[in-house]
Amino acid sequence: MSEEIKGSIALPALRTDITLHTRDGLTLVGELALPPEREPVATLVTLHPLPTAGGFMDSHILRKASARLPQLADLAVVRFNTRGTSSPRGQSQGTFDGGVGEQADVAAAMDFVRERGLPHPWLVGWSFGTELALKYGRLHEIDGAILLSPPLHRATADEVAAWKDDSRRLIALIPEFDDYLRPKEAATRFSSVPSIELINVEGGKHLWVGELQTRRVLTEIVRAVNPRALPLPTEWDGPLGAP
């Protein structure tokens, strides 16, 4: 009997606890989720929301991407806690550094991807995670970056404009009712990057609460990274995985 894919449901995947090692000597905790039966076609390296406001590797959109997309879209998903951040997986060493020291955390995740030979990495940042993607993503071998609810609090105008001459894709999902950056202002703040793909999400809010918004976000991620997997199924009639 089929079951609707919603909420905290976890589909089958090969899930492994991982540790990342930063170049300034810290150990970060995380998880790698792989497709259960096939090689991944691409990799999502996720960057969570602001830890001082409750963001961590289990923030719901990132957790649901890990729970669903290895099975539904043949994607590898890397999640981890940035320095000083805690979750049920554990606490990463170090202390929150406002997006400065976290440059080394992004590098550690990309080192892991390279060492494991994971294909076609994309950065997927949410809120604070978008600041890390904008500030440091260009330093790494990625296919592109997807920004969910970018607040543009820490990424400077120059750091945004630096993407202008970058050939890799930059995609931003802008909620209609975002708390920090709404579509009209986003068009202005990102005008220095004519190639950016701004996706204005009608009815969207910063936290993407609810299954309708979750499905929209996951669909746009897959549309960028592996469009052949669309449309994403909304029901599942096989065994479930561990959450």
Per-residue pLDDT of 31-45, as tens digits, reads 999 999 999 999 999
Stretches in the chain below the pLDDT threshold 50: none
Q: Where are the beta strands (DSSP E) in 73-156?
A: 75-80, 86-87, 90-91, 121-126, 144-148
243 domain-assigned: no
SS3 22: coil
**Domain count along the chain:** 1
What is the model's pLDDT at position 239? 84
What is the model's pLDDT at position 2? 85
- Rounded Cα–Cα distance for residues 196 and 133 (Å): 14
68 domain-assigned: yes
Global pTM value = 0.97
70 domain-assigned: yes
What is the tens place of the pLDDT at every residue in 69-106? 999 999 999 999 999 999 999 999 999 999 999 999 99
Q: Which residues contact 199 (CB under 8 A, 6 or more apart)?
A: 171, 172, 173, 174, 220
153 domain-assigned: yes
Name the residue range of residue 222's domain.
3-236
241 domain-assigned: no
- Rounded Cα–Cα distance for residues 115 and 95 (Å): 26
CATH number at residue 54: 3.40.50.1820
Residue 22: name the closest of 119, 100, 128 by CA. 100
Neighbours of 36 (CB within 10 A): 15
What is the model's pLDDT at position 241? 80
What is the model's pLDDT at position 153? 97
Q: Which residues contact 216 (CB under 8 A, 6 or more apart)?
A: 201, 204, 208
113 domain-assigned: yes
What is the distance of C-alpha 67 from the center of its chain? 13
158 domain-assigned: yes
242 domain-assigned: no
- Rounded Cα–Cα distance for residues 131 and 50 (Å): 10
